[in-house]
């Protein structure tokens, strides 16, 4: 719903705030009930599940060998990659 210029200039009423709160509550409820959101594990948890060393999981994420994304401070690996992670056990290639 597009606001008219007159509506933008008037102060917000209690009713406006209640409507906005209601819309936000519905939006958050729908957000939490999305069934299609893929599950992801932290790199540490993924390492624990698959038995692959943590550093190797990180390397695989960086190289793009695992479907994963960087979430600010940690790698998140999609649940669908668990079987792949068990099969791909690449040795760590750090300088000696």
On whether residue 44 sits in a domain, the answer given is: yes
Into how many domains does the chain fold?
1
On whether residue 32 sits in a domain, the answer given is: no
On whether residue 64 sits in a domain, the answer given is: yes
Q: Angle of helix 43-50 relative to helix 54-63, nearest 10 degrees?
A: 120
Per-residue pLDDT tens digits for 58-80? 999 999 889 999 988 899 999 88
Residues in contact with 78: Cβ distance below 8 Å, sequence separation at least 6, in sequence order: 38, 39, 40, 66, 67, 68
Domain that residue 69 falls in: 40-87
Which pLDDT value is given to residue 96? 44
Per-residue pLDDT tens digits for 10-49? 788 899 889 999 998 888 777 666 566 678 999 999 999 8
On whether residue 76 sits in a domain, the answer given is: yes
């Amino acid at each position: 719903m597009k606001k008219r210029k007159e509506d933008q200039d008037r102060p917000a009423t209690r009713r406006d705030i209640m409507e906005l709160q209601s819309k936000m509550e519905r939006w958050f409820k729908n957000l939490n009930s999305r069934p299609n959101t893929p599950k992801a594990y932290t790199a540490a948890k993924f390492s624990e599940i698959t038995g692959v060393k943590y550093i190797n999981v990180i390397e695989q994420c960086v190289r793009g060998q695992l479907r994963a994304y960087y979430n600010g401070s940690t790698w998140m690996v999609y649940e669908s990659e668990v079987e792949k992670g068990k099969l791909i056990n690449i040795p760590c290639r750090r300088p000696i």
